[in-house]
Structure 1
C-alpha cells in the first residue's frame, strides 16, 4: 500500500520544535543553533522556512542573532531585585556605591552606573507624581545601570529644583553617600509608593538597553515622600528577561 506523502513542516512547527528543545534544555542557554542548511535538511524544508521559524523565536526573545549569521539561545543571567529592601530602612549606600550597586555586588556580579544630568520641564506624569505644576523645571539624573558590562536598567530620577539646586544631585557622576543623597542633603524619604506596569519598550529604550526583538520591560515608578510631600520620583525601565522583581510583605 502506498504511503501518503509526509506533511511538510511549517515555520510555526519548526519554531514549536526548537522552543521545546530550549525549554527542556536540549538546547541550553548560550548554545549556537544548527545552521539554516542543517535545519532545512533535518526538517525537510527550505532554508527560507527555517528562517521564518527562527524569526518567531527571535520575536519571543528566546533566540538572538549574532554577527556572521549565527543564532544563539539567549543566555542572560537575571538579577533578583528586591524592591522591599531597596532603599528601605538601614540603607547600604557608601562612598563605594549606592544601595543598588551594593546589592549587585552581594550577588557576586559587577555593577556600574553611567550618569547624565540635565534640567527639563516636568511633563504631565512627573508633575503629577511630584505634585508640582506641569512645566515646572526639575533636575533629572539619568542612570544607565549595567551588570557585568551589560545594560540592565535605565533609571531616571526627577527632583524639584528647590531640593536639587546647589547639591551633588546636579553632579554628572555616580554619586553615593551613606544613607542616600537625599538624607545627606537634609531631605530624607520617609515613605515610598511604587507603581509597576509591563509594556513593550520604545525605540530609545530598545537601543540603550540593547534589547532583542520581542523583549518586554517593566516600568517601575518609585515616588519618595519627605516631610512635606514628594521629594523625588524615579522611573526605572527593567528588561523582563534580566529581572525577577521581589516583594516581601507582612500579613
Structure 2
C-alpha cells in the first residue's frame, strides 16, 4: 500500500469515528508531498550508500526530508535519498512540491520499473518522538523502499516512519 493508501485508510477511519459521534468532518488539512520539506545534499549513511550503490566515502546523495501532516497533526516522516549525479540541477534539489503524474522520479525523467520494500518495527528515536508528537512507548514501523530503473540501477531510497498508533499496513498480493 502506498503512503497515500495509509493516509486514505486513516481518513476513512476518522470519518467513521466522526460520523458515529455526529460531528463535522474536517479530514485532510495539509498532506502535501513536501509538507515540512528540508532538502540538501550530503554524504549518505553506509546503509543508504549500499542501497544506492554509492561509495560511502566519496559519493553524495540528495535528501528530501518531509513531515506528513493530517488534520494539523504530524502523521509520518518520509525521507527520500537520490544519487546526486542523477538529480543534480533538477527540482528534486529544491524544497518545493515536485509531485507529478507518475511520481517524483517521473518529474525529472527517471522511470522506476520496480521497487523493493522492507518493513521493520522498532522503538522511535528521540528525534522521531519529538517530530511526531508520539505518546510514550509507541513503536514505529520503518518502511524502506528502494526504487530501480529497468536496468536495475537504484534511483531512490525512501524511508517512511509510521507510528504504530496511526497506521495499518495492508498489502494485496496477486496469486500469479
User: The TM-score by the shorter chain falls in which range?
Assistant: 0.7 to 0.9
Instruction: Return the alpha-carbon distance in structure 1 between the equivalents of residues 48 and 160 of structure 2.
Output: 13
Shift of 1:100: 2.8
Q: 1:76 maps to what in 2?
A: none
Instruction: Return the alpha-carbon distance in structure 2 between the equivalents of residues 123 and 167 of structure 1.
Output: 23
Q: 1:122 maps to what in 2?
A: 44
Q: Which secondary structure does the structure 1 equivalent of 2:62 belong to? A: strand
Picking from 211, 218, 225, the partner of 2:141 is 218
Query: Residues 47-196 of structure 1: matches in 2 within 5 Å?
Result: 83=1, 86=2, 100=4, 104=8, 107=12, 109-110=27-28, 111-112=30-31, 113-135=35-57, 136-196=59-119
Q: 2:132 maps to what in 1?
A: 209
Q: Which secondary structure does the structure 2 equivalent of 1:237 belong to? A: strand
Q: CA RMSD in A?
A: 2.1
Q: Which secondary structure does the structure 2 equivalent of 1:143 belong to? A: strand
Are the aligned partners of 1:201 and 1:216 in contact in 2 as well (CA < 8 Å)? yes
Q: Which has the larger radius of gyration?
A: 1
Q: Which secondary structure does the structure 2 equivalent of 1:176 belong to? A: coil
Q: 2:23 maps to what in 1?
A: none
Q: Which secondary structure does the structure 1 equivalent of 2:77 belong to? A: strand
Structure scoring higher RCO (CA < 8 A, sep ≥ 6) equals 2
Q: 1:244 maps to what in 2?
A: 168
Q: Number of aligned pairs?
A: 155
Q: Give the ranges of 4+ consecutive aligned residues of structure 1 lying more than 4 Å apart after TM superposition.
A: 105-108
Give the TM-score taking structure 2 as reference length.
Answer: 0.81
Shift of 1:183: 1.4
Unmatched 5+ stretches in structure 2: 16-26
Shift of 1:164: 1.3
Give the TM-score taking structure 1 as reference length.
Answer: 0.58
Note the alpha carbon deviations across 1:60-94, whole angstroms, 9 max, x for none.
xxxxxxxxxxxxxxxxxxxxxxx2xx2xxxxxxxx
Unmatched 5+ stretches in structure 1: 1-82, 87-98
Q: Which secondary structure does the structure 2 equivalent of 1:243 belong to? A: coil
